[in-house]
């Protein structure tokens, strides 16, 4: 059963990490209520501890796609460490989500 407080996010603005903490910004998302897509939520921000969040992932779709952005990470003298984006839709329980309707 999908939680009545579940959210699906769409598109991305980016993210950042500081040690094991992360923040990720999505363009928009939708609440999921009773397994159905519900109201729009804008300016979605997910934040938390990456290791705790990984333990709370309990649902994975079969729609994996790469978004070949050709980006890079320059933190801590790692430049030009190549990075890219890709993921299926994932359900995460107990994640901190901010946004506005």
What pLDDT, in 10s, does the model give residues 28-74?
777 777 878 888 877 788 888 999 989 988 888 898 887 766 667 76
Dihedral pair phi/psi, residue 27, rounded to 5°: -65, -45
**Three-class DSSP category at 53:** helix
**Helix segments in the chain, DSSP class H:** 50-55
Both tokens of residue 28?
A: 């928009």
Contact 80, 71 (CB under 8 A): no
Question: Does 30 map to a domain?
Answer: yes
| DSSP code at position 44 | E
Number of structural domains in the chain: 1
Domain that holds residue 77: 6-100
Q: What is the mean pLDDT of the chain?
A: 75
Residue 5: helix, strand or coil by DSSP?
A: coil
Upstream peptide bond of 81 is cis (omega within 30 degrees of 0): no
């Amino acid at each position: 059963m999908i939680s009545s407080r579940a959210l699906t996010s769409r598109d991305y603005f980016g993210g950042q990490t500081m040690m094991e903490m992360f923040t990720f910004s999505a363009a928009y998302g939708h609440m999921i209520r009773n397994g159905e897509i519900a109201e729009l939520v804008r300016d979605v921000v997910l934040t938390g501890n990456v290791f705790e969040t990984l333990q709370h992932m309990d649902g994975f779709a079969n729609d994996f796609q790469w978004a070949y952005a050709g980006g890079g990470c320059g933190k801590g003298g790692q430049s030009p460490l190549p990075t890219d984006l890709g993921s299926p839709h994932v359900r995460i329980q107990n994640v901190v989500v901010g946004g506005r309707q």
